[in-house]
Structure 1
Amino acid sequence: MKYTTEEICKKYDTADGIKQTWLSKVKELFQYTMPDRDNFNKPAAGAESQNYQDNREELFTSAGEQAVNEFVNKMQEVLCPIQQKWIELEAGYLFKENIREAVNKELAKITDIANEFKNVSNFDEAFSEFCYDVFAGTGCLLTMPGTQLGPLVFRAIPLKEYCIEESVNGDVEAVYRKFSMKAERIKYQWNIKEDKEFSGDDKDREVQILECTYKDLDKGTYVYLVLNYGEKKEILRQEYRTNPFTVLRWNKAAGELYGRGVGLTVLNDIKTLNMIKRYGLMALAYIFPPMLVKEDGLLSAKLDLTPMAMNYVGTAEDLSALIQPLFNSGYKIDLEQYRTLELQQDIKRNTYGNTLPNEGSKNLTATEVNARLNELRNNLGSVFGRLIRFQTDLVRRIIDILIITGILAENESGQSFDITKIDNLTYRIKINSPISRQLKLAEAQDIIGVVQIFSGMDPSGAMLSRIIKKDDALPYLAELLGMPARFIYTKEETAQIDQQQAMAAQAQQEAAVQADIGAANAKALGKAGANIMELAAERQQ
């Protein structure tokens, strides 16, 4: 299943036409929440596209900017915490139970390598930029091979540049990215060895690039293409086992192509708050209305109605009437009647900002921390599946690149790790992020609650021992509570420890028995000796 260059360009034109129907609301959201990051109104290429532009003249409140910054910080904290090892692999259902522990030890080595190279890459910076687009509803992260020292290169793709296409099962299958680049940078961007060297005006010539990927259903691979969109020529073609573009759609209804982010939910609240602030400042200015100064002559033809302006009319007969206000309605605007504090709280709550009391304190109680985590978990319930899917696709891509670049070497049998077997049946991806741990904590609390109930009914613990498999439940509970697997004894290790303890107890018991026998013998010998002495004494008498 291959497409020609012309077919790819037509598919992009169709996908871009669909995206344009979504952009009007997205542009408005950027204007109110990310005005300095709004690249929709910037030139497509050239030095002007990099110039600073002030788009904040119509903003009278920073509530929108604060909301998006808090959202990005929260997502980075609970999904992909900075410089932490949240990637984890484990053996799936298809492995027999008696070999899963050995397989997990080998997988731990792979995940340690993946976490280390992720942490030394630019992932944290790119993910932060990626979350700003997710605030609007849809974000796209491009992951490509780099150098031997830096094999992972991440790039957040602006929403302006790309459009997407769904497969029959609703997954994002094709991504098209159109942007401009100087001709001399093309070969350096993709490490292309060309015979032709650009010279003269060709070096500064802007080339329209169409970067795209689609799935070859016949091979089960992803085709990565770089095209010259203007000339309809192919520049680069590569095939990967994973999709270079990882797309997250925050929330969507059936049949929708792009996601709806929390920013769209609070957009009207932000606009209302901005309007209240704007007209409140205008009303404040007109508390000091324009003045009339009585003087000889008629009313000036240039009547100025700006606050504190001076307009000369008539002749002043006395000093008391020298200066008079032009009008004074006596009306005062009370902004509290619009409940601006409630608007601000609604904006923060819907964008997962801190909404509990004492939010300005650095020392929160355990109850407040737990309440915030529970609130966040409940709010993320509808999109949690999408977040986990995004992270698992990203982990597949990271491991695939480490295999391509040779970082993950072949095993003893001469075979490298098979990325296609990360299907949650052979190998399963576990995301060890704070929000995942919070969900595990809820399950752990259920187990602890059952144990407490049975312990209260039977303090001796006999009922608990008959119902619950302690050898299985306790290690699982420790894992749910966040204990790393390498610190938890396996069943084999537990059996070995039990055997050693049993042998030690038996040896101690045997030693005690021998001691008792020795003591008894010594006592018997002592009695026998005493009897002999008595007999000897009697004979002497």
Structure 2
Amino acid sequence: MVHPQPTKPGAIGAPEADDEAVVDSLMRRCRRAWARRERWVGVWRECLAFTMPYRDSAVDAGLPGGRKGGGLFDGTAPDAVDQVAASLLAQLTPPWSRWFDLTAGPDLSPADQARLGPVLARAGAVLRGHFEAAAFAVEIHQAYLDLVTLGTACLLFEEAAPGEPSAFRFTAVPMADVALDEGPGGHLDTVFRRVRLSLPAFRARFPGAALPPDLETRAAREPDLELSVLECVVPDGRGYAYTALLLGAGDPVATVLDGPPVPAGMVPVLARGRFGVSPFICFRWGKAPGEVYGRSPVMKALPDIKTANKVVELVLKNASIAVTGIWQADDDGVLNPATVRLVPGAIIPKAVGSSGLTPLRAAGDFDVSQLVLDGLRQRIRHALLADRLGQPDSPGMTATEVVHRAAEMARVLGASYGRLQSELLAPLVRRGLVILHRRGEVPPIHLDGRLVDLRHASPLAQQQRMSDAHATLTWINAIQGLGPAGAAVLDGEGAARWLATTLGVPDEAVRRPGARTVPVSRPPPVTTRPPIPPRAAGGAGGAGAAPALSALARGVSSTMTGGVGHGRR
């Protein structure tokens, strides 16, 4: 495991006079953060038990493997969670696709934008290449599963060692290992991460750290000794202060929460530094006012999920009784109802000549379990957005149906997608640019929204822009019926450039303003029709470009009939 590189590598482990005060403050904040986190553990366990029981280690740090999910009978919720996580991966950060662009900001002049565009395009391509080489999709998919189930996810974005295929290294941090808190800006940028490291891993991560004498002696006797380390990342106004503390051997949470207060002078500081951008990227699905951790769609659908699971359990029990039956046998003794067990294959004794244990027959035998179960499953899929984020049932959708589906998806995911843009996508790009600039692969780029802007180009972002493009193309088609006067209003070059930007066309495919057009020699067309007079071909300016843009509108509408997600990424 490679230690995250701070903005000042020389500051790691540097002694300071206020070490004890800093450690004491961090330990107190860590205790409060872990105490707040404990209130959420119960609902997290319940969400995982009914959706992904095999991922219970995301909440409780335990032994991997083992038999899990024995109380899960209905697979609707687990399947819906997997589909939503896969849809988020495909719609927000699709692998091997261009899901973001670096563009010149609005404060620059057109000439400066033209000069800066190729530089930003190359930097974006280099950044995307490192994302793809680092197997980013594998770890972000695990984080999406936590996001859909628990409402909060954490991704560790480290710099890889020199010589690796990528400069980035990603790790999906389970919620069992972190306690979070909001910073002054309302983001989850205060992170306390517990980690248990073997002795070789500890030496590799903190090569210059010295163990206390008692641990050195114990490590010499126990080669498999695990050490508890607490990593703290706290915003301080100048960036993010990083501190790594050695808590000794054992469980760091028990040491921090349950154990006696440790004097600050007895907690060794393994590393200290400062990051310009936090290496821990924590993001939420949604949140309630006053809460720190996020709320997930599984939490909203949990009552229906539990009810459907119980209905399926009862149906299976009824089916087993119907197959094996419950039998009666003559008995000379006295029937004791307390000893009767209504299980498949049971034999209930009865007195000779008596009717034995007789059930009370209802007036009708109307089985509503399947009707109830169908409604529950439909509501579960609707609450988890599986019916709206998944692939459409009809592959041959018209352009209007595609636009309406994209608008519905944008409406449903509007708040959550906006939060993910702010808490996940933008920090990912900022952190990557900082690492690549330190390596000298890209120039210093600061995403301020004025000089340099981040343009989201994921399929979901493109679907949101499709409504604007569809409205513009409809207007272009409409003005064709107004004659030359209506066509003269259209600025053909400006409309074409706006459509290129909106539809995500690469800059290389668009001619720059002022560039000369290279004439292309073409053979004369074979036709017997007389040439069209210049007046009929349209006036100057945008009038002559209107028919071409009308054809472009028909072409874009025809490509939109292929279904959501088939446009350019």
Residues 236, 86 of structure 1: CA spacing in aligned structure 2 closer, same or farther, 3 A cutoff? Answer: same
| 2:227 aligned residue | 207
The equivalent position to 2:207 in structure 1, one of 192, 195, 198, is: 192
Residues 366, 450 of structure 1: CA spacing in aligned structure 2 closer, same or farther, 3 A cutoff? Answer: closer
The equivalent position to 1:478 in structure 2, one of 481, 500, 506, is: 500
Q: Taking structure 1 as the reference length, what is the TM-score of the superposition?
A: 0.79
Distance in 2, matches of 1:358 and 1:78, equals 12
Contact 2:231–2:245 at 8 Å: present in 1 too?
Answer: yes
Distance in 2, matches of 1:119 and 1:106, equals 20
Following superposition, the deviation at residue 73 of structure 1 comes to: 0.3
The equivalent position to 1:491 in structure 2, one of 497, 510, 513, is: 513
Q: Does 1:146 align with 2:183?
A: no
Following superposition, the deviation at residue 75 of structure 1 comes to: 0.5
Q: Does 1:293 align with 2:329?
A: yes
The equivalent position to 1:463 in structure 2, one of 462, 486, 490, is: 486
Distance in 2, matches of 1:370 and 1:158, equals 37
| 1:106 aligned residue | 119
Gaps of 5+ in 2: 1-17, 249-265, 521-569
Distance in 2, matches of 1:179 and 1:357, equals 37
Contact 2:403–2:467 at 8 Å: present in 1 too?
Answer: no
RMSD over aligned CA atoms reads 2.9
- Tell me how many residue pairs correspond in the alignment: 470
| 2:172 aligned residue | 156
What is the letter of the counterpart of residue 457 of structure 2?
Answer: N
| 1:514 aligned residue | none
The equivalent position to 1:385 in structure 2, one of 400, 415, 418, is: 418
Distance in 2, matches of 1:326 and 1:359, equals 53
Following superposition, the deviation at residue 222 of structure 1 comes to: 1.8
The 3-state SS of whatever aligns with 1:478 is helix
Write out aligned runs for 1:141-290 (5 A). 141-148=155-162, 149=164, 150-188=166-204, 190=205, 192-193=207-208, 199-217=219-237, 220-230=238-248, 232-287=267-322, 289-290=325-326
What is the letter of the counterpart of residue 59 of structure 1?
Answer: L
Contact 1:290–1:325 at 8 Å: present in 2 too?
Answer: no
The equivalent position to 1:348 in structure 2, one of 376, 381, 388, is: 381
Distance in 2, matches of 1:461 and 1:267, equals 61
The 3-state SS of whatever aligns with 1:273 is helix
Distance in 1, matches of 2:121 and 2:161, equals 24
Distance in 2, matches of 1:108 and 1:356, equals 30
Following superposition, the deviation at residue 356 of structure 1 comes to: 9.7
The 3-state SS of whatever aligns with 2:245 is strand
Contact 1:146–1:153 at 8 Å: present in 2 too?
Answer: yes
Following superposition, the deviation at residue 275 of structure 1 comes to: 1.4
Following superposition, the deviation at residue 245 of structure 1 comes to: 0.9
| 2:550 aligned residue | none
Identical-pair percentage: 22
**Which stretch has the larger CA shift, 194-203 or 85-94?**
194-203
**Which stretch has the larger CA shift, 92-101 or 70-79?**
92-101
What is the letter of the counterpart of residue 474 of structure 1?
Answer: A
Structure number with bigger Rg: 1
Following superposition, the deviation at residue 369 of structure 1 comes to: 5.1
Contact 2:59–2:174 at 8 Å: present in 1 too?
Answer: no
Contact 2:241–2:273 at 8 Å: present in 1 too?
Answer: yes
Residues 418, 345 of structure 1: CA spacing in aligned structure 2 closer, same or farther, 3 A cutoff? Answer: same
Following superposition, the deviation at residue 311 of structure 1 comes to: 4.0
The 3-state SS of whatever aligns with 1:142 is strand
Residues 303, 170 of structure 1: CA spacing in aligned structure 2 closer, same or farther, 3 A cutoff? Answer: closer
What is the letter of the counterpart of residue 463 of structure 1?
Answer: G
**Which stretch has the larger CA shift, 349-358 or 480-489?**
349-358
Distance in 2, matches of 1:139 and 1:306, equals 43
The 3-state SS of whatever aligns with 2:172 is strand
Write out aligned runs for 1:108-123 (5 A). 108-123=121-136
The equivalent position to 1:418 in structure 2, one of 422, 441, 444, is: 444
The 3-state SS of whatever aligns with 2:189 is strand
Following superposition, the deviation at residue 43 of structure 1 comes to: 4.8
Gaps of 5+ in 1: 409-416, 502-541
Distance in 2, matches of 1:41 and 1:483, equals 43
The 3-state SS of whatever aligns with 1:492 is coil
The 3-state SS of whatever aligns with 2:380 is helix
What is the letter of the counterpart of residue 206 of structure 1?
Answer: E
The 3-state SS of whatever aligns with 2:127 is helix
Q: Deviations over 1:104-131 (max 9, x none)?
A: 1011111111111110102111101111
